[in-house]
Chains A and B, each alone.
Chain A
């Protein structure tokens, strides 16, 4: 049984809005998703009834807040088949990748070690490694992509060597929607005794991601791309890897004991155990509760249903876009290796003009590089427009989009 988009839409207050006198059609889900009332209410409810700092005080309110915060960790862990102690809360995918780059990278990378990335990475899985490579003199290498924008496995195996300490790669490209075969890539990586980090920003919200089945070391993802609030995300970290990771940021919560030794006039510091060792300062408690509620919402639908519904939408959209003669779609058209992300251009028009015109009809699509400038250069594109779908989008919205796209082609 497929999911019921009209029932789902009823949970999202934003769809009552009109944009430029048109009903809002939101097709920028790869950037961020809209929030259901359940998530919005959970945050409001927390501030109205439970607000207190966590892990700090003996009084009831703080105990309750702590319980909610840790419940959230548990819920999110279960969603990706991890242990709660393997989930570190971060500001989002970007901070999660930075955490690994700094706390694992600075301690474990040395001159001439290699970090293996790909040409399709989002800037957030590229810049942190470039920064760390400068500091440690480790070398970043980039795996080539094939003509259809999938990873060139041959080039991957060629570039993987005894020097490769970590492979960091996106599960799903935020430009082409290509789904990488992580299970296979992870197997090859581990046979090479390297670690593997997966940027799950575009996969975790849309498909079943099981860290045990994929057998990966690290997984980074954001709440706001899966119905949750902004400013919170998670880093999954396989337990055994904690041993190799120094602290990330310093502050409260990440320490167990700070004993000021008067003889040496310095504090003696004992780190907290993971995952708290990596959560300095007061965390985003309300955010974590919104995150938990978002996961509950997705669970109530079933992530497999989410996946198959999006595939149906994407298939339908790709098929209908064929009617738009001046529109070129990038990446594979085969939805067995592609998520609900469609990047395209209209011949003779800048992607920004396409997005600007779509906006006048109430349709929100992205334009530009989508934070993946290298990929655009590799596939020789100046920029592209992008439509990306989620559970509340409908066939009717795609029909309207295609109608508008045909008009834009006449510009």
Chain B
């Protein structure tokens, strides 16, 4: 009896959508990148999950390539994977405007409530990466809000732990 059969018998919906399961099994753009323009890390000390994004950004401020590494749960991997697909080829301004955790959750076909923080983490990490890119260049584009967004804050809070874990 496989999981699907067992679920059919007990008539329990899987906690994850088919899309999440597919992305967990076959994630897109997974792996380290050589010489990225920006690395963005986010982790969650409450659950021990963490994600790293590697972004190659060209002179037109377009994300040419983005990859991720994740040691987290299926929701963590799926949301990170979908984010790379959503922002690949977009310029940074559009990425900032288009990307929200609600959209990410929608794109993966929904997440159990206890898992929506995974979507927040992925979006927060990318936004922190964009901010870092402009800081490195010494630029302050007017479309980036002065204060951190709630998604960035969540990713920031967890940065210290992420650093520790990434050294392992």
Which residues of A approach B to under 8 Å, CB–CB? 20-22, 349-353, 356-357, 359-361, 367-369, 373, 376-377, 380, 382-383, 404, 407-408, 410-411
Contacts and interface: CB of A to CB of B under 8 A. Distances in A.
Contact of A383 (B10, B48, B168): B48
B11 A357 contact: no
B139 interface: no
Given A352-B49, A360-B14, A407-B6, A382 B71 contact: yes
Nearest to A367: B47
Nearest to A20: B12
A376 B15 CA distance: 27
Nearest to B11: A21
Interface stretch (B34-42, B72-80, B82-90): B72-80
B74 A361 contact: no
B109 interface: no
A368 B48 contact: yes
Nearest to B14: A360
Nearest to B7: A360
Interface of B: 1-3, 6-7, 10-15, 21, 45-49, 71-76, 112, 114-115, 164-165, 168
A411 B71 CA distance: 16
A410 B47 contact: no
Given A360-B7, A368-B48, A380 B12 contact: no
Pick the 9 closest A-B CB pairs, nearest first: A350-B73, A383-B48, A360-B12, A382-B48, A352-B73, A353-B73, A407-B3, A356-B15, A20-B12
A20 B71 CA distance: 28
A410 B74 CA distance: 14
Which has the most chain A C-beta neighbours within 10 Å: B12, B49, B114, B115? Answer: B12
B8 to A, nearest CB: 12
Contacts of A357: 15
B12 A361 contact: yes
B10 A350 contact: no
B2 to A, nearest CB: 6
B75 to A, nearest CB: 8
A359 B168 contact: no
A359 B15 contact: yes
Contact of B12 (A21, A383, A410): A21
A56 to B, nearest CB: 42
